[in-house]
Amino acid sequence: MKIALHGKNIKPEAIECVKGLLKILDEKSIGISMSKDFEKLLKKVKINAAPENIFLPGDDLSEMDFVLSLGGDGTMLDTIAYTAQYETPIVGINLGRLGFLATTPKDEINNAVESLIAGKYNVESRSLIHIESSQDLFAPFNFGLNEFTIVKKETSSMIVVHTYVDGEYLNSYWADGLIVSTPTGSTGYSLSCGGPLVHPRLKNFIITPVSPHNLNVRPIIVSDQSEITFEIEGRTNRFMVSLDSRSCSVDDKVKISVKRESFEAKLVRFDHNSYFDTLRQKLNWGVDARN
């Protein structure tokens, strides 16, 4: 078995967990490769490791059986750029806080490795959102797992996002911004702006306005077979766009469209951890503060 490791941050309380992971991988004679960022991180926290290979975003990971993403949901989003079209299954080890995507707690690392070896896991396919633009935004990694967002850059005035679905006019959103989310991203920024929870196996996009001026404008769900295009205007000619955790400034001349990516993200789930379990745990459903 070959496993790739990626992480962006290791807090002091997680150092022993990472050491334990490296130890069990060595004991099981599992070959490991590391992202360049993770290798630098280990050196910074003085953890000794001897990976077989070091890889960068865009490198071929097709020979890897799994990629272990060590961190939180932000690290998981970052890991998608490494797996890309190779669709290498990702195991999210939660060294962070909330963990909608990185669902394996750090105290279950050993059990997770044992389950991978024994084949006791499921692989979920998650659709990705693909961005095309006249300014070549986010290339060559112009895809994301959660959402694409257009927001105002200045704090004083709203923007107008004219939105079209398959060329048909949908609406002009007078708002602070607009989110196009995948079902996976429905538990993220879209949710905080009033968007619905959508099961990740569904094939949809969720269009959610950010602080809309017209209160009767509501989120809408459309097929992810659609292509959604935008025209942006405002009192200033600069706006911010983001794709998952990456962002950049654009002008009002940019042409942007989003559609479903041709490949998917593969997320590993263990038998004891379902999507509905995660919702209940992370959103505290059914919790009574009196008890």
176 part of the active site: no
Rounded to whole angstroms, the maximal C-alpha distance in the chain is 61
The DSSP secondary-structure symbol of 41 reads H
The DSSP secondary-structure symbol of 96 reads S
Closest CA to 27 of 104, 107, 95, 113: 113
d(CA 150, CA 172): 13
Q: What is the DSSP string of 169-205?
A: EEEEEEESEEEEE-SGGGGTHHHHTTPPP--TTS-EE
Using CA atoms in the order 206, 212, 215, 221, what is the torsion angle rounded to 10 degrees?
Answer: -10
Residue of 59, 60, 65, 73 marked active site? 73
Residues 36 and 7 sit within 8 Å (Cβ to Cβ): no
Residues 79 and 104 sit within 8 Å (Cβ to Cβ): no
Closest CA to 80 of 136, 17, 25, 129: 129
Closest CA to 94 of 114, 121, 76, 117: 76
As annotated, the active-site residues are 73
